[in-house]
Amino acid sequence: MFSSCSQESGIVGSTPQLHLSREEECPFPGDVCQDRVQPVRLEYVGLSPRDYGVNLGSQVLVDHGVVCAPLKIDQFLLVGRTRNNDPEPWLNKMGVWFGRKFHDPSFNDTRIGIYGTLLATLNGPNRYSSEYSGNYMASYSRQQPAYDLNIFPIGVQGKESETIHPSLQRDDGAVFITMLQAGRSLYETSVPIEDPFYAAHKKYDGMEVYIPDYEATALGCVEQYRLCWNSRTSFCTNWASPEDAIGKLIALVYPNLTTDKELILGLGFVYPFFTTMASVDRYLHQRTGTQMLISSLFRAGDVVLDLKDHKEQWISEVKAWFITAFLNGRYSLLQTVRRTGSKRTGNEPEHMLKLCRMVLFQNNDYININFISLLACISVLLLICALSCAGAFAEVCSKVWKALSQSTYAKKLRDQVVGLYQAYNFHVLLLFLDAHLPFRRQRQTRFPQSLFWNRNRRWQFDQRLFPSSDWIRLRTLQPPSS
């Protein structure tokens, strides 16, 4: 489905070759990855500015990678206690928090950032509870629970590696968590779902439908960039966050390998567009919610008709995010050039604004041939030929014209041309030529604009996520004892 989007859209063009591999080790320092599940790594290798649709002849290539793995959520649970220290968990006394705050008593950083949310259960079965939390959420005797996909962290100021849970910290990339709250979901399938993100092993009241094992499941991801000078056979930076990768390359090549200030300014002001706008983390934050899941396409009410892959659907989801984030990055660049995206304030440097003169996107409002320039060139060339041939040219033309005028075929052709000209005006004639000539361009569709492009709308959503009462309740929670 997602590959067809890239093939059909003239704006986003074709996608680069996707490299997929499975890794043996958990991408995080702590024991937080699910056992017997191999992480997946996706990469685009050797992306040039033209791959992003920008006419910049730079010597710098971009490698973009994301590695994801299903997480053990019980590592990040917070549990509240009643005044009599009753250990029995009840509704709205639990939470999940992927940040360092609340888990590390010595950490008292005051920077704002949302790393989790409240839960209704201990999210069993796990080391704290043998109860299937999915049973609790699927009960129709209770209020309709959430069916949502949340991306954490939200609104982090500064480097997130300092405020994220120590078991998730990475200094060579940006860490983000996608957490699915399946809510009241019924999977219409004849076999259990082994996929760790959609795990469902128990039938609902003896019916031929399965309910999720957990109230919440999560994938932990690390997004990285690497910049290479001249070609991938030359030297490259180490994998890092986009800001660090660009900064390291500038420090390596200037002035040791180049003194081209235009190239360095392009790295500083243009390349951040490539790394930021094609970021998976940014894309998911723009369009948070279960509309980001392929599985939602097969959901009708509470029933998920089926999953394409009962064992590794989560890999298909990550692959879809990675591909569409790249396509959305190209489209976001076009919106920036058209000045129809998010508003910018202040006076941008000239080298940042030069992006507006370099974009190569096709546009359905225009045809690919500039007829005025083409006709002008043809007219000049014909005039030169006529002047150079002088009398001989005129004599040859006269003989050819007389021969053609006397032929029956020429008379019929002339009548057809006259009739065609009278039947169509010039605009319709151009459309006719565009549709039938061998060098016509193909009609192509456009990639849809993100619903969450507006930053103010995204901010309002974040503000509603934790009302003041919920934030006070979350502060009273603590990690559960094993």
Q: Could you give the C-alpha distances from 113 to 160, 459, 465, 477, in angstroms and in order? A: 9, 12, 12, 17
Q: CA angle, 271 as apex, 462 and 455 as ends, to 5°?
A: 20
The Cα 362–Cα 249 span in angstroms is 31
* Maximum CA extent, the chain: 113
The answer to whether 120 touches 182, Cβ cutoff 8 Å, is no
The answer to whether 364 touches 444, Cβ cutoff 8 Å, is yes
The Cα 205–Cα 110 span in angstroms is 47
The answer to whether 234 touches 193, Cβ cutoff 8 Å, is no
Token pair 């004599």: residue:
395
Domain ranges of the chain: 1-364+449-482
The Cα 255–Cα 400 span in angstroms is 66
- Is the full-model pTM beyond 0.85? no
Tens place of pLDDT per residue across the chain (482 aa): 333 333 334 454 567 899 999 988 999 999 999 999 999 999 999 998 888 877 776 788 999 999 999 999 998 999 875 445 554 444 446 899 999 988 888 887 777 788 999 898 889 898 888 889 998 888 888 788 888 999 999 887 656 677 899 999 999 999 999 999 999 999 999 899 999 999 999 998 878 899 999 999 999 999 999 998 876 667 889 999 888 888 888 888 887 777 777 777 777 777 888 888 899 999 998 876 888 898 888 888 889 987 889 999 999 999 999 999 998 888 777 666 665 555 544 555 555 555 555 555 544 454 445 556 667 778 877 777 766 665 665 676 677 667 766 666 666 666 665 555 554 444 454 454 444 444 333 333 333 333 333 334 333 444 444 444 554 555 566 676 65
The Cα 480–Cα 482 span in angstroms is 6
The Cα 164–Cα 154 span in angstroms is 11
Helix (H, G, I), strand (E, B) or coil at 231: coil
- Closest-CA residue to 337 (of 317, 319, 353): 353
